[in-house]
Amino acid sequence: MKIAFLIIDMQTVQLEGVPQSKIDGVCEYINYVSRMMRTAGHPIIHIQDIEGMTEETREIYSTIEEVSMEQSDLFVTKEYSNAFWKTELGDLLAKKGIEQLILAGFAAEHCVQFTYNGAIERDLSPALLQNGILSRHDDAVAAAYRDRNLISYPVVEWLTKEETLQP
């Protein structure tokens, strides 16, 4: 099964006001899963919200340095909460034969869940990375984990190893 890892809105401008300790904890999970996915040949796609960006504010719209990025990573920009809405994300995933998505990033109650719902509408199988999403509101993260499919990093590790063992 082809899986893609979406890292949503892990940008300086989006994360203002989020405690650094929470950002660091989430990035640890994101980076670990990114390494596993890259090793197994699955795409890492950074979703960046550019709504309101100007030439003067371009730098604060970049992905934070705590998130590891590689040359092979892909980038999709968006202006709406759902990363599928009026973007090339759906076409990109279809061209790569992606069937399942793992989602991580910010904000649990907005862009992460809206993109999750967009994936369901497109017959993709989404799951939230456990310990991989952020919000300014702890109850929003808890609700997302309660109400959506979750995947833990050991399961991702098992899936990616199973993929490499297939003939």
DSSP letters spanning 58-96? GGGGSBPTTS---TT-EEEEESSSSTTTTSSHHHHHHHT
CA atoms within 13 A on the CB side of 149: 14
Q: CATH for 3-165?
A: 3.40.50.850
- Domains in the chain: boundaries: 3-165
Backbone angles phi, psi at 151, to 5 degrees: -140, 135
CA distances from 147 to 3, 5, 116, 162 (A): 21, 20, 11, 27
Query: Which pLDDT score is estimated for 161?
Result: 82
Task: Give 10-residue mean pLDDT values along the chain (167 residues).
Answer: 95 96 98 96 97 93 96 97 98 97 98 98 97 96 96 93 57
- Residue 165: predicted pLDDT: 46
